[in-house]
Chain A
Amino acid sequence: MDFLLATTLSYLLLYNYVALFVVAFLAAFLFPLPSSAALLASGAFASQGFLNIYAVLIVALAGNILGDLTGYFLAQQYGKEFLMKIGFRKIIESKSFIGVEKILHDNSGSTIFITRFVGEIGPLVNILSGLTKMPFRKFFLYEATGELVYALVLGLLGYYVGSTWQNLTGTIELVGVGLIVILTAIIFTKRYFRKSF
């Protein structure tokens, strides 16, 4: 087990729901923390009677949603200005960035929903959504729905498998990669149908 995951689990056992909230929030915001494994483990701890499964789901959901919204709002308010100041003006004003903006807005639902399940990509999508001024209601609808499904799936999966949850951590990463492949397929398929019809 890697050091970061072991440390996260220790904090979960020492500080329970506060640690779970902090990990979920920071991972959804920007930091590369093992939030999927932490939620899976928390579900398992709940099945063992150490935590309460309802509290685990609510706390994880709250942390994830607040982390997403923090990244979105900070990027929306200060993102472009900050990036331009530190020398990214050419990238922000480039055709490639405008292309990314278009892809994101045309596929906002599937992109935001699916990337909730991929820890490293989700925060980047939040920031891009803020930078490209995606309407808040649209962003929140798909983001909250995705986080709800994510919290339920992982939390209940951990609750179901109990003490053998560690066997699933590798599988979850594989599922995350698979979801990115699916998302890419969706985007290209829609573009193909649009051109053909």
Chain B
Amino acid sequence: MSKRTNKIITIVMVLIGALSWAYVAFRVYEIRSHRNFAWRSYLMNHHHRPISITDVSYISSWMTFDYITKVFKLPATYLKDTLKINDSKYPFVTLEQYAETIGTSTSAIIGSTQEVLRKYLASSTLQQ
């Protein structure tokens, strides 16, 4: 078998394999998250526009206050004022690090953050 034929077979097999796996993985993901992706409308709605999130259950211990403030589009010192944070590293400190600093559990900090976020999102929805 010539080298060229060899190469073509390799490329075709790699492409078929990769596409098959990509399709399987995509379908698995779609089923697991109960979604139906509408490619065109998604791209048209979200192209060049940051996607904000409103689900507070997304909050995790590895997140920083800076990140939470930006993705939930909060005022810059909202979390610092409402949670009464005195850490000098704020907002560049993770929830876990902050919990360790003040000697409380990470789940307590996550719960408090989720609570203030819910109130903020509820009040901003009412204003709209």
Residues of A at the B interface (CB closer than 8 Å) are 1, 6-7, 9-10, 13-14, 45, 47-50, 107, 109-110, 113-114, 160-164, 167-168, 171-172, 174-175, 178-179, 182, 185-186, 189-190, 193-194, 197
Contact = CB atoms under 8 A, between A and B. Distances in A.
A168 B33 CA distance: 10
Contacts of A193: 1, 6, 9
B17 A7 contact: no
Given A47-B46, A175-B25, A197-B1, A167 B10 contact: no
Given A48-B52, A163-B71, A182-B17, 9 more contacts: A1-B60, A13-B62, A13-B94, A160-B42, A167-B29, A171-B25, A178-B21, A179-B18, A193-B1
B74 interface: no
B53 A48 contact: yes
Contacts of B62: 1, 6-7, 9-10, 13
Contact of A49 (B9, B25, B61, B71): B71
Contact of B10 (A47, A110, A194): A110
Given A13-B67, A179-B18, A182-B13, A48 B61 contact: no
B92 interface: yes
Contact of B96 (A10, A162, A178): A10
A50 B14 contact: no
A14 B29 contact: no
Contacts of A48: 50-53, 70-71
Describe B's contact surface by its main secondary structure. Answer: helix
Interface in B28-78: 28-29, 32-33, 42, 46, 50-53, 55, 58, 60-64, 66-67, 70-71
A144 B96 CA distance: 38
Given A186-B10, A194-B1, A168 B29 contact: yes
Nearest to B61: A6
Looking at chain A's contact residues, the main secondary structure is helix
B60 to A, nearest CB: 7
A171 B63 contact: no
Nearest to B10: A110
Given A1-B62, A13-B62, A190-B6, A50 B25 contact: no
Contacts of B29: 161, 167-168, 171
A10 B9 CA distance: 44
Interface in B74-97: 92, 94, 96-97
A45 B6 CA distance: 41
A20 to B, nearest CB: 14
Nearest to B71: A48
A49 B46 CA distance: 11
A50 B6 contact: no
